[in-house]
Amino acid sequence: MAKIKDYFSLVVFSHTIFAMPFALIGFFLAIQYSGFPFSWTTLLLCLGCMVLARNSAMGFNRWADRFIDKNNPRTAQREIPNGVIKGNAALAFSIVNASMFILLTALINPLCLKLSPVALIVILGYSYTKRFTWLCHLILGLGLSFAPIGAYIAITAQFHWLPLIFSGVVLTWVGGFDIIYALQDAQFDKSNGYYSIPSKVGVRNALIISGFLHLLSFSLVIISGVLAKFGILYWIGALVFTGLLIYQHSIVKPSDLSRVNRAFGTTNGIASVIFAAFVIADLFLR
């Protein structure tokens, strides 16, 4: 029988760190930049929504890809292919988390509740995109990009241009590093008719496209800093974030993919946390 730790492994819970800091940026933008009151209840509800939505998406992804994973040597030892978690159990896990996500959005405000199905359609639908479009990386980025604007709406019940720019940062940043991650399966995807940018254009060109997306991320970080008139701490965070983007491209080469996981997991997790910490600190010193 599957244990709790197996479900944490199923959803790679540690990777929640990618988008969570950007959700906190959106939350504190609403408070420190737009002047709305702080609420511990809303903060906890936002964090809960982030975890539940991601759990639902990852559980569904593992269920939807269970036969693909079984045939791919790199993923054959994941929890469903190796029998640790049954496929139906993973699907039930996803449904329960999605239901709890909707419940929490209802406790936040009516706009969050109305938008919750849209978020679920994107983050769950992503699992099927590699079957028909090489834009799957950007759709993953779109799903995670809901973090800053969603947290902002949780406080304000309205849209604002600044968290939307940060959503753009997440979209292009995630899309770029997901391309790097997909390099590992370029040949498998191409041989089996699955869509990804590496399988379509090759490893070298995929790295160029990833670099272009990260250049867009950098540009949006600059734009948000200038337009919102952030201070020195923001720019220090932006410098570190950019440096880590450059670093991950420096350690992954077309001829050497051995450090893809370091670039994908460790580097991006650190980049997200450090950038958010400096942005939020700058907001509190405004």
pLDDT, mean over the chain: 95
Residue 129 has pLDDT above 80, yes or no: yes
Residue 1 has pLDDT above 70, yes or no: no
Residue 4 has pLDDT above 90, yes or no: no
Residue 261 has pLDDT above 90, yes or no: no
Residue 2 has pLDDT above 90, yes or no: no
Residue 63 has pLDDT above 90, yes or no: yes
- The pLDDT-based confidence of 218 (bands split at 50, 70, 90) is very high
CB 237 within 8 A of CB 169: no
The pLDDT assigned to 70 comes to: 96
Distance CA 263, CA 257 (A): 10
- As given in the structure block, the two tokens for residue 102 are 């909707």
CATH topology assigned to domain 4-284: Tetracycline Repressor; domain 2 (1.10.357)
